[in-house]
Structure 1
């Protein structure tokens, strides 16, 4: 890949302070935003993405306050480059397009040139979407010619030559090559000389002018080889090897191919080390060896739990049939023997007792499964975060996927139970539809790789950046539909398409389409698949599931006041579509933009007490807390917690509920009797709705259900600790 891909990063910083900014506020305020933008660029140069995003997010907030389209466009572009570097391509495209929108409004030609070139690089080199990449390059070239940016024009022409030659279209690429040959001084760089010469070699090889081609290739390989030239030099060896093989010089072709592989390996190793450095890997090999045995034990435990889950499903079905039988009997008795009111009342009590028993049974089983799953998911994430070299391990990926599958099974059963008992209430949360779908796609990447599938996402640009609605229930619907499509598709594609259907007042109706080219569903089975525990068209080798996913989708859509449409043909694929209205409130946008920054850590060092009896959970929770630079102490039970609180002060207490000797509720009550006002957060595997009342009564401040997202944990910790300190200072 050419080194010119990110050349426009320098171009960003060169144009940050041009005099065409339209000041909407005081000069001091504009200068502040410009300084923040410059700092973001500097951090990006140092590959300090967290700080770069933090600065650009703050600058973006102020730019919106000033209604300064130029500064908005620049900061959106910087955020896009951050995500581009980090490999978050869909997010990068989203922010680049936002940047281009505001650049068009401000009509700053240099910005439009830069952003369209960035989009060209991303689509062509990263997404391999060649026609889109070439379209953006041509657009960038058009903008650059308006202001006669000679170097940028030359670089874009060179990228266009490379693009057309890469797809074998030498005729289209020739005019751009001729321009570079006439204006090669505008490139002003050794790296550019290497690229230009081997591109000339490729063209003359295509024309069968072997002598000219050989001269250009040798000229490319004779340039001074600096560290920055390595990438282009590797491509020169590769193309020269192809040329030599074409003219029958196979031994020389092989020698050049060896040199290409050698340089490629060096670059790969450097890239790998750079990524390891970004991730901050610090765990020594000895520490990994001490934990691997525990991981294997957890893996065995997880396998056993998966077997037990089948028994749970069978028991759940049996209880449901018993309950159904009792209700039918009750109705029959009411119709036939009204005089036996006492007997009917007793039967009703039995039915209610059975229903209560079912709820208690599901709650208990879910708690017993979530506790070990917290350890499995937590330690697996620790290994993947701290040992990036293990990210390709099939064993760890399989372990993580299996744990999440078992957790999904537990959640599905609980979800069905809650919907049937009318306990689900839709929430109003602000969210970004592109971010939510990206999270879903990433979480299903293992399943996609398993069946060699691709997940394509197409989101209508007319959809507002932020919407209001129940993003959690929407995520459950999309997760079930996309995972279902991936299970029944092999060597194919699954598409997630979101279009703006209509606008009524403040509500935007979004049309969702989940489409695959898999095995399809027979017409006779299409009316049955939304029923519980129904599996159609399965073979022994097919992926096995619970049969709950589509039933949950239909019921959740009912809560949104929507319905689902199915179209499918055997062997041709399946598509599911539905429409959901979401509210759009621009007044909340300013607050949400502040959350673009990804670094949620605090500059203060807080002291946390963990009260937990499970050793694996102690390890996982302690590791997560200390990773955020908090001081952490762990005790095994409530009595030990009371004892240490007599001697030491803590900023916050994480309290397990189900402990021997004394549970978390009783421990919290005794802490409050000692007039200790330290915030207490329940860290539990129980469902939150089941324990909220008792937790509040005991004096707890909040509840987090395991397994949890670390970001959510730190948000709650920072909020409660800050609130507690403010109350103490005010007192």
Structure 2
């Protein structure tokens, strides 16, 4: 009998009173086993019958297991986790039932984004499967492991497990699991950007689905194809498939909501705003019907899309309000996605820039205008005052009366100037606080990414894996550099940014930089070419970070504003002697180009070629200004040659020293990371568990004894009970922050041991605040292992 008829027959039997409780229990077990494989929930009346059949027997626990999965599918995760836990902990549960319960609990955790719990359960499931030789559960374990690694974006590992599960399920003729694997692999390749392979696997899913008579996987495979075509910008094919998905007999609110969202976004990007608004409203309603009252970051994204549509419609005030709704809902729902704050900040900036029509921007402009008018008036008054002062010496007391009148006018003008100046200072302070908060929020997760990446790079032996890990660290450091752009802009304007010179291989520096951009360029069909003069010295003295920052900005712009052709990074030696090398550097593309009129203001801060550029390509308008300021510190200047439709060539000239003294080389070679310390007792005050793991991993190879305190209060108590040689102090902690804890240690406990600030608060005023509170030194997050060890060496090896 076909599966569809079997399920329908079993439901009818469960709802009829003609069977005994024992008979209905057996019927329910068969029904549950099919529903689990198909990932289907049951009608409400059938759910009620199933709940009445739950007992502490093998069959009763299978029914409870099925209920746990069904309520999870309906997004009632708390209830789902509770029921799974009861099944797994029950003494009556066999190894097979426990294994299946753990497998579907992992799947439910992944759907609810509770990945840490999934990782722990995977080990338990693996042991259970192998100890009891559970054949079907083995294929299921491989699928759940793949789903977990897919969820946490470890795509290569996920693919290996999917292939194992696919082979096992084919051997057992478990066609629903075969379809699950084929569909999941398609989604995997879609997420990796390999869209052709994704479509191939979705088509295989449909072929496999023909072995199941209820079109179990055909619907989700069509959804996968539609979502892929949306990503490839094949809008017509995507819209056609979207209609097929939303009208399919097995349609579900979850997938429909996603399809309508993708449809709305695609229509918005093509200017079809009224159609986009209709699709967005359908996405909202289908999601809210499916997950009543549930707050998720995915749901919040719909409000961001609404804000973007309103902005394109020209309704900027509504767009700003909708964005505030998105931002608040997102922060309430977010779990491990702190990096999204960067996009939040960018979107706020883009909305505020739209034609300068929002109230907030008008207030800023008024404050600046008042300041400029007051300053001009004060200057004119001062000139007039000086002129009349000279006349006063030569002329009569009548002139004195005129001067007194002018002085009165000057006082009024100065009062206006002071008022405008105070408003401008308030705006500057608010901007600084905003930048500081954003910097702190983003540096905290980056601390884990860069820290663990550095530790993995040191420990890994496989060259390919080590290379990939290094690329993660390099990319994260580039992201950190983007965050530092705003700080750099302030430092440069204040004349406080100093270059950090050292011996570096410029060829290797550029190749490392290009590792970050190759994938981005390839996705747009672009080719990056290197044209480096063979006469370029192998090693020169320069600030590698700042030069890479300049080149990274130029390469990123070349990729952003190009859709075809090559991007050339070139170096040509102009002059070289025994000590110095003079050379040209350029980045050339075949992109949209820049007109002569637009080039006049191109290097000014917060300015792009035209307003439509910001809307289409994004960006803050700071990059080229910062590049030019950095090059000025290197005694150079950025130039551009470009024309509309003919691409752009950005170039500059540098002169570096390439003669390195023997003493300098020996000092550099002798410098090694310190791992052994004379004083070893360390108190780590840190509330973030991930940051603790990062620091522990960095210091694992040392002889340090590290005791952790979760906040300032715990640190003070621990210090009163034990002796330590140094304290590593976080700043933002619950109950008592690092500043207050330091003041208590210094003034109430008369503590003199070194206190080092470990914090994502990295602006100059934050460093000054740490020192003012009584701390001895400051290490900013993301933490560099070399920097941390040098600071520890300074205080623990006297």
TM-score normalised to structure 2 length: 0.45
Which gives a bigger RCO, structure 1 or 2 (Cα 8 Å, sep 6+)?
1
Q: Which has the larger radius of gyration?
A: 2
